[in-house]
Amino acid sequence: MGNSASEITMKKLSVAALTMGTIGILLGLYIMFEVAPYLEYLDGITNPSRVMRGEWMRTHNLKMNLGTGSMGLGFVGFIMALVAGIKSKETLAWVASALCLVTFFMGAAYATHMFS
């Protein structure tokens, strides 16, 4: 017996959610290891010039935009994986939902004042 169409659809939904979670995690790690330390360095400059203030603003906007993107990917991926997990009871969907939840909170840590 072959897989039904809904099982195949739920598997595709799980894979899409896992991909979204992976991309979101990579964005969060980029923020954590590249953008945030550079922003802290710029914060530590005691007498910044106009150019450095502009650089700080661009870096801060980059951190906020990437964090918001990561948060959005995590939220949408979590909903997709949750639907797939409930309907198909597939392990991949539950792994994807856990990954997307971590992605959401990584994005929230940098894009909101939730943890500050």
pLDDT digits (tens, 9 = 90+) for 28-70: 999 999 999 999 998 888 888 888 888 999 999 999 999 999 9
The per-residue pLDDT for 112 is: 85
H or E, element range at 44: none
The per-residue pLDDT for 45 is: 84
Query: What residues does each domain of the chain span?
Result: 21-111
Cα angle: 41, vertex 42, 48; to 5 degrees: 135
Q: Torsion angle, CA of 58/53/39/99, rounded to 10 degrees? A: -30
The per-residue pLDDT for 1 is: 45
Model confidence over 79-113: pLDDT tens digits? 999 999 998 888 899 999 999 999 999 999 988 87
